[in-house]
Amino acid sequence: MPLRPARCYTHQEKPPYTRKEYIHGVPPPKIVKYVMGNPHIDADTVVVLMALEKAAVRHNALEAARLMASKYLSTTIGDQNFMLIIRTYPHHVIREHKMMAFAGADRLQEGMRLAFGKPVGTAARVDMGTEIIEVRVKSNNIEHAKEALRRAASKLPVKTRIVIKKLAKAS
């Protein structure tokens, strides 16, 4: 069965459910790496993708955004000239009450009585102002970092803003 669209999970008013000791069979997040590029780069600028609204971002959306940003940065400026960090972790367990969808199914099941749902994935809860992705570059590559984060933002189900910060040099 295919995944439900992101709009089914993005806006949730309930508190996050993270008690994995009570849920058996929570699928692991699809995110492969949280830090990419060159971790020893002498960067002077941080370009941040910041959420503008409260939402739940699924783990597969985070992975798609990471792939888009890292692929663009590695092809344009090279692997040694940036460090990309995923700042959010998908802790919230997404549950789905599976329903039969064929003719006559209404006579076979009890419906939503005491429905808890089976875990289908995880999501990262973000609030307004949460940093989702961070790219550290030198000041001559700021435009490439902004373009990479713009492409990554198209994969996320939340409105975002790109913020540029200067790093203070350690003396």
Q: Supply the CATH number for residue 38's domain.
A: 3.90.1170.10
What is residue 77's predicted lDDT score, i.e. its pLDDT?
Answer: 93
Query: Whole-prediction pTM value?
Result: 0.83
Q: Residue 11 falls within a domain, yes or no? A: no
Mean pLDDT of 109-128: 79
What is residue 110's predicted lDDT score, i.e. its pLDDT?
Answer: 62
Q: Residue 138 falls within a domain, yes or no? A: yes
DSSP string, 24-50: S-PPPP----SEEE-TT----EEEEEE
Q: Residue 48 falls within a domain, yes or no? A: yes
Tell me phi and psi for residue 121, to 5 degrees. Answer: 170, -170
Q: Residue 105 falls within a domain, yes or no? A: no
d(CA 41, CA 127): 29
Q: Residue 64 falls within a domain, yes or no? A: yes
What is residue 75's predicted lDDT score, i.e. its pLDDT?
Answer: 95
Q: With pLDDT > 70 as the criterion, what percentage of the chain qualifies?
A: 88
- Number of domains comprising the chain: 1
pLDDT band at 103 (very low <50, low <70, confident <90, very high): low
Domain that holds residue 33: 26-97+115-165
Q: Residue 142 falls within a domain, yes or no? A: yes
Task: Dig out the tokens for 134 from the structure.
Answer: 């961070």
Structure confidence by residue, pLDDT tens digits, 31-57: 888 999 999 999 999 999 999 999 999
Q: Residue 128 falls within a domain, yes or no? A: yes
d(CA 4, CA 15): 21
Helix (H, G, I), strand (E, B) or coil at 34: coil
Structure confidence by residue, pLDDT tens digits, 50-65: 999 999 999 999 999 9
Closest CA to 16 of 128, 156, 125: 125
Helix (H, G, I), strand (E, B) or coil at 58: strand
Q: Is the dihedral of CA 14, 17, 23, 25 positive or negative?
A: positive
Q: Residue 122 falls within a domain, yes or no? A: yes
Q: Is the dihedral of CA 80, 82, 88, 90 positive or negative?
A: negative
